[in-house]
Structure 1
Amino acid sequence: MTDAWSPMTNYDTRSYWEGCREKKLIIARCGDCRYWIHPPRGVCPKCWSDNIGYEECDGVAKVYSYVVLPAARQDNSGSDRITVWAELNDQERLIVVADMVGSAPNEVAMEAPLELAWSEYRGHPVPVFKLRAAG
């Protein structure tokens, strides 16, 4: 058994994962009504168009929700794991779920400003978020 991991891709998710390889946050977007779509799918949930393209987002976001997995519940991590539902500033309810890095659980708050960062998971770049400095 190998420890290798590779993201599961299909026609709709391929652009997202290819963007991750280049450390770019690529999100599906309807070419007709300009609605952002994540997770990516082949039909716009707003106007039902299948004219879906992919565009880069800058990753500026805020905490929509979060959960903390205490270190004691994890295998050999030594620190708490924070997962955020990051609401991108590009559109209301455009949510990316990812780990949060560089902060302790007591530093996280609802609607706290976030910025995109990158981490490696088994040799693959994956998006993570960190608190954005005020100003």
Structure 2
Amino acid sequence: MSDTSIGAPARILPVVDRDSEAYWTWGRDGKLAIHRCQDCAYYIHPPVPFCPKCESRAVVPEAVSGRGRVVTFTINHKQWVPRLPERYVLALVAIEEQDDVRLPCNIIGCDAADVSFDMPVEVFFEQQEDVWIPLFRPVVQS
């Protein structure tokens, strides 16, 4: 679930702070971290130190399955920076555990034309310096 390939596209890296640290670093261990309220069990993303549902401050990161589905997507056709492909998919993926948690991401591991709404996907991490960027790829059907 991790890729440290040298040929990875150039990316503008996120600012990692106390709230977002788990989201950007747990990929080192192949885990997708999403904050969860310990009082009402609501998942919260982007990560913040309180629950927007019950207003509890008992919020901690937890590993989720890393599976989800493509809610919406667009195909980019312009190379904005060097090493960035000319054609790539930007998507919102709903995590399996809670449908209203939507992660903006890239879909990799398939041709852009093969991406579809509700496509089942799984997380895959790309390491850039000390950040593990969650990307998603199609789930291989067995």
Instruction: Assess same fold via TM > 0.5.
Output: yes
Tell me the residue number matched to 2:52.
Answer: 45
Tell me the residue number matched to 1:23.
Answer: 30
- Separation (CA, whole Å) in 2 of partners of 1:73 and 1:80: 7
Once superposed, what is the RMSD of the aligned Cα atoms?
Answer: 2.2
User: What is the TM-score when the length of structure 1 is the normalising length?
Assistant: 0.85
Instruction: Give the structure, 1 or 2, with the largest relative contact order (CA under 8 Å, sep 6 or more).
Output: 2
- Separation (CA, whole Å) in 1 of partners of 2:17 and 2:136: 25
Q: Would you say the 8 A contact 1:61–1:89 is kept in 2?
A: yes
Q: Would you say the 8 A contact 1:16–1:25 is kept in 2?
A: yes
**Deviation (angstroms), 1:11:** 2.2
Aligned residues: 132
Tell me the residue number matched to 1:74.
Answer: 80
The partner residue of 1:113 within 120, 126, 132 is: 120
Any unmatched runs of 5+ in structure 1?
none
The partner residue of 2:101 within 94, 112, 117 is: 94
User: What is the TM-score when the length of structure 2 is the normalising length?
Assistant: 0.81
**Deviation (angstroms), 1:104:** 1.7
- Separation (CA, whole Å) in 1 of partners of 2:134 and 2:95: 13
**Deviation (angstroms), 1:61:** 0.4
Report the AA paired with residue 82 of structure 1.
V
Identity %: 24
Any unmatched runs of 5+ in structure 2?
1-9
Matched residue SS, 1:18? helix
